[in-house]
Amino acid sequence: MMNTNRFIKSLFISFLVASPLWVQAQEEYGTNDGDISDAEVVIQKDRQLALPLANRYFDKMDKTVRERSDKPISYDLKLLNYDLPEMNPPINPARIHHQKAENLYGNYLKAGFGNYITPYLEGFFNSRQNDRMDYGVRFKHLSSGEGAVYKDLSASSLNQLDLFGTVYQGSDKISAYIGHTRRVVHYYGFDEPVEEVNKDDIRKMTNLLTFGGAYNIVRSRNDFEVTPRLDGYIFSDNFDATEYNFELSATGKYKLNKDNSLSLDVGAVLNQAKQSLTENEQSVELKNSRNILYVSPSFNGKADAFTYSVGVRFAYSSDSTELDKNIYIYPNLHAYYNIDEGKLGAFVDIEGNLERVTLRSLNEENPYIGQLQQLVHADKLVDLTAGFDFIPISNVSVRGSAGYALIKNLGFFVNNWEDVSRFDVVYNDETTGNFHIGLEGSARFRELTASLSSQLNAYSVSDELQEPWHRPTMINKLSVNYQYLEKLTLGTNLIHYGGIKAKAFEPDEFGIVQETTTKLKPIFDLSLHADYSITDHLGAFLQLQNLFGQNYERYLNYKARGIQFMAGASYSF
């Protein structure tokens, strides 16, 4: 404590002594007014720094060369066996609760009635879901008691009955079918007074019995598939025309590897046709034996975005007509290139074929064909077509094409000059050129679906034939459907035919029949339909056809019915 007091006293005395000196220094500093006097500072460096060399107390390492030994190395592997106890996890597998399958109705009935005294009945009866087989029956009746002209003299009817079935055996399947179609039309395109026409004389009835079966064999392990099949039909009419046709064929495909395969199409066709005509108690009969053998091998390949098929078609025909050349060889080449996968592609097809012409095919194309027709197959020498596929946006697709074909013995329909209500088939024995342009498109936007097809044809025929009689140069088709509130479906269809020319026969002032060319008016057929689901089983429908009320002529002298409507109901069970 005493030392602390001494220290405080010493510090206080030192402060008193130094105070005058500190005050004097402050006064002198203030008189110089902050000026800095001149001074020279010299820094001189004479000393050099040098470090002595360090001593190294180690040497560089020498490279050691290892001696190779050729002694074989032996291994001794010992298996370690462990007996693990069985593990019984206390976990139960999850159970899948099978949902009840939606009730799909396999049977369907539809009936209605329309103007022109038109009853309609159609039914489908199909088997329920079955992994081993399916089968069904379909029938249809549609008739009109009156037509566009002369009331019942232009009546028509159609009756169909079809049975089919398929049996599944693993990856294979066996299918069979049989059906009958009965069609009635009248030759109402006459030019004589209606009072002189007998309905039974102009009535034409055709019957068609079809049958066949196929056995599809698939061997996935061997990359092999083959389908032998038998198809046949018997065609007849009430004018004593009969045709028998049997075709035994097989298609096969063998996969060489991932990108390449071989295909083969072979077949044999037996056709016998008989036609007869009786006039003034004199009968004329015409028989044709028309058999065909064909073989079509091809090689199919793929290289990146390029797919192709290279093949050839061989055919042998024993047709009794003098226009048949017996042996036919055609190209069968196809190529496709994906320019932009899923959006844009281009294709080229070069092909030919022997297109069969039969009594059945002629009557299905033109039901007003007459009797004693010459039957000649169309020899399509080559058809070169190039085109593109384009998908601009999702659910919209467009296909365009253009090409040129050379066809020999192409047939055309011409009115018979003695009876203009009946048609004859005339053939261009020279080569017919056919330039064709096609455009197809489809779109789907939620409940709205639409499809469009357009085709333009230009024919070059011989001077003797003059015109491509009754072949339209333009065909356009539009279809639109709209689903409204799941119960109502609305739709429309528009069909347009243009550029049809016909050969007409008219007497001059002296009563001599003269040939003239008639251009038929363009065809515009607009139809509307509506289907409404009243319940899950019951529905109603309404159909309107030819809303423009145009009595157009697809074939000369045959006017179509005007506006047609039909209403009815449907039932599913």
Q: Name the helix (H) or strand (E) containing 13.
A: helix 2-31
Nearest CA to 316 out of 352, 289, 291, 288 is that of 291
Q: What is the DSSP letter of 562?
A: -
Residue 25 confidence (pLDDT):
41
Closest CA to 427 of 414, 405, 412, 407: 412
C-alpha distances out from residue 365 to 64, 69, 319, 397, Å: 99, 94, 22, 30
- The closest of 375, 378, 374 to 471, measured between CA atoms, is 378
Residues 190, 197: contact at Cβ < 8 Å?
Answer: yes
Any idea of the CA torsion for 63, 65, 66, 70, to the nearest 10 degrees? 160
d(CA 88, CA 104) in angstroms, rounded, equals: 44
Structure tokens at 491: 């739709």
CA 255 to chain centre: 24
Residue 241's nearest CA partner among 359, 160, 158, 418 is 359
- pLDDT of res. 159: 98
Please give the share of the chain, as a percent, with pLDDT higher than 90.
73
Token representation of residue 118:
């038109």
What per-residue confidence (pLDDT) applies to 137? 97
- What is the C-alpha to C-alpha distance for residues 545 and 564, in angstroms, rounded to an integer? 5
Q: What tokens were used for 418?
A: 């003695």
Q: Are 174 and 215 in contact (CB under 8 A)?
A: yes
* Amino acid 18: pLDDT: 46
> DSSP letter string over 445-478?
ETTEEEEEEEEEEEEE--TTT-S-TT--SEEEEE
From residue 63, alpha-carbon distances to 58, 66, 432 in Å are 16, 10, 93
Number of other CB atoms surrounding residue 376 within 10 Å: 21
pLDDT tens-place string over residues 29-75: 444 444 445 555 555 555 555 556 655 555 555 665 565 555 555 54
The contacts of residue 156 (CB under 8 Å, 6+ apart) are 143, 144, 147, 183, 184, 185, 186
**pLDDT value of position 494:** 98
Tell me phi and psi for residue 460, to 5 degrees. -115, 115
Check: CB of residue 431 under 8 Å from CB of residue 573.
no
Cβ-based neighbour number of residue 327 at 10 Å: 9
**What pLDDT is recorded for position 354?**
96
d(CA 440, CA 452): 6
* 221-258 per-position pLDDT tens digit: 778 899 999 999 999 999 999 999 999 999 999 999 99
The pLDDT tens digits for 415-429 are: 999 999 999 999 998
Per residue of the chain (573 residues), give pLDDT as tens. Answer: 445 455 445 544 554 444 444 344 444 444 444 444 555 555 555 555 555 665 555 555 566 556 555 555 554 545 555 554 555 555 555 555 555 555 667 899 999 999 999 999 999 999 987 889 999 999 999 999 999 999 999 999 999 999 999 999 988 999 999 999 999 999 999 998 999 999 999 999 999 999 999 999 998 777 889 999 999 999 999 999 999 999 999 999 999 999 999 999 999 999 999 999 887 778 889 999 999 999 999 999 999 999 999 999 999 999 877 777 889 999 999 999 999 998 999 999 999 999 999 999 999 999 999 999 999 999 999 999 999 999 999 999 999 999 999 999 999 999 999 999 999 999 998 999 999 999 999 999 999 999 999 999 999 999 999 999 999 999 999 999 999 988 999 999 999 999 999 999 988 878 788 899 999 999 999 999 999 999 999 999 999 999 999 999 999 999 999 999 999 999 999
User: In angstroms, rounded to a whole number, what is the distance separating the alpha carbons of residues 474 and 522?
Assistant: 10
| CA atoms of 125 and 138, how far apart (whole Å) | 6
Q: What number of other Cβ atoms are within 10 A of residue 534's Cβ?
A: 11
Identify whether the C-beta of residue 425 lies closer than 8 Å to the C-beta of residue 413: yes
